[in-house]
């Protein structure tokens, strides 16, 4: 390798591919334990296999890699986590030297998403796609959902005694906790016409992007097709 190339600082463009791989592996690692349906688990293993092998289904490399992941849940998780760690090591130097560019790109992407948001709920909804791999909310039991619903009703009605069972929706409660976590990164300010304007909280996002895993996930996050159509 020529000497000038050896001394050249690593670029953001040179690590984007691995950042996407780190993001994809993080998605699988965070989702696999929560996936109860066999078809969902198979889909996650397919995603992981494509990343690890950089090959398509039906090719020898893909099938050999998939064979290493199937059958042993604990072993598969360890292999994926180890691969992600190795990839983080590859991009570490370039990530540090390009951290400001990465942060700027993330902020610009989110602020563009937030343009025209009607209220805080709408604002959170517009950027929540990017945080799904960061904030993995544990499953909520029916009993826990019932307790939450009871406390909520008690607070609203000011009735200290509840004599009938109050049922809560575990999925709705889990979604609420997730949206609350995302809302910490969205700021609401008043414009000249007193209309609310929404943007990302740069200070909090800066702290988050200190971690290469978080930075890679947010940088690589792409808006779902449905949201792209709505924004068009």
Domain count, the chain: 2
Residue 112 domain-assigned? Answer: yes
Same domain, 113 and 60: no
The residue to which tokens 């090591």 are assigned:
89
What sign does the CA torsion over 128, 132, 134, 137 have? positive
Same domain, 180 and 213: yes
- Is-contact 69 49, C-beta < 8 A? yes
Domain assignment of residue 106, given as a range: 100-135+171-231
Residue ending a domain, among 68, 97, 126, is: 97
Same domain, 34 and 126: no
Same domain, 51 and 115: no
- Is-contact 184 127, C-beta < 8 A? no
Q: Spell out a b/e string for 121-150, using b for 16 or more CB atoms within 10 Å of the CB, else e.
A: eebbbbbbbbbbbbbebeebeeeebbebbb
DSSP conformation class of 116: T
Q: Is 198 helix (H, G, I), strand (E, B) or coil?
A: strand
Residue 187 has phi, psi (to 5 degrees) of -105, 145
Per residue of the chain (232 residues), give pLDDT as tens: 344 455 666 789 999 999 999 999 999 998 887 788 888 889 999 999 999 999 999 999 999 999 999 877 789 999 999 999 999 999 999 999 999 999 999 999 999 999 999 999 999 999 999 998 888 787 888 999 899 899 889 889 988 888 888 998 999 988 888 999 999 999 999 877 778 999 999 999 999 999 999 999 999 999 876 655 555 5
Same domain, 109 and 70: no
Q: Which of 103, 130, 87 is nearest to 218 (CA)?
A: 130
Kindly report whether the global pTM for this prediction surpasses the value 0.85.
no
Same domain, 19 and 125: no
The contacts of residue 170 (CB under 8 Å, 6+ apart) are 139, 140, 141, 142, 144, 145
């Amino acid at each position: 390798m020529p000497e000038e190339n050896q001394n050249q600082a690593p670029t953001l463009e040179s690590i984007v591919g691995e950042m996407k791989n780190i993001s994809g592996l993080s998605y699988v690692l965070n989702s696999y334990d929560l996936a109860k349906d066999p078809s969902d688990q198979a889909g996650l293993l397919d995603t992981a296999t494509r990343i690890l092998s950089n090959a398509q289904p039906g090719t020898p490399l893909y099938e050999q890699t998939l064979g290493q992941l199937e059958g042993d849940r604990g072993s598969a998780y360890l292999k994926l986590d180890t691969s992600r760690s190795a990839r983080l090591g590859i991009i570490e130097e370039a990530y540090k030297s390009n951290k400001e560019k990465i942060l700027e790109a993330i902020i610009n992407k989110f602020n563009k998403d937030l343009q025209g948001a009607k209220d805080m709920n709408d604002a959170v909804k517009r950027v929540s796609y990017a945080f799904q791999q960061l904030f993995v909310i544990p499953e909520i039991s029916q009993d826990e959902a019932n307790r939450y619903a009871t406390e909520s009703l008690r607070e609203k009605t000011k009735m200290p005694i509840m004599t009938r069972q109050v049922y809560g929706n575990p999925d709705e409660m889990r979604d609420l906790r997730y949206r609350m976590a995302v809302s910490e990164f969205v700021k609401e300010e008043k414009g000249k016409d007193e209309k609310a304007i929404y943007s990302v909280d740069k200070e909090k996002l800066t702290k988050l992007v200190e971690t290469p895993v978080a930075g890679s996930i947010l940088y690589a996050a792409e808006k779902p097709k449905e949201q792209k159509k709505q924004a068009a």
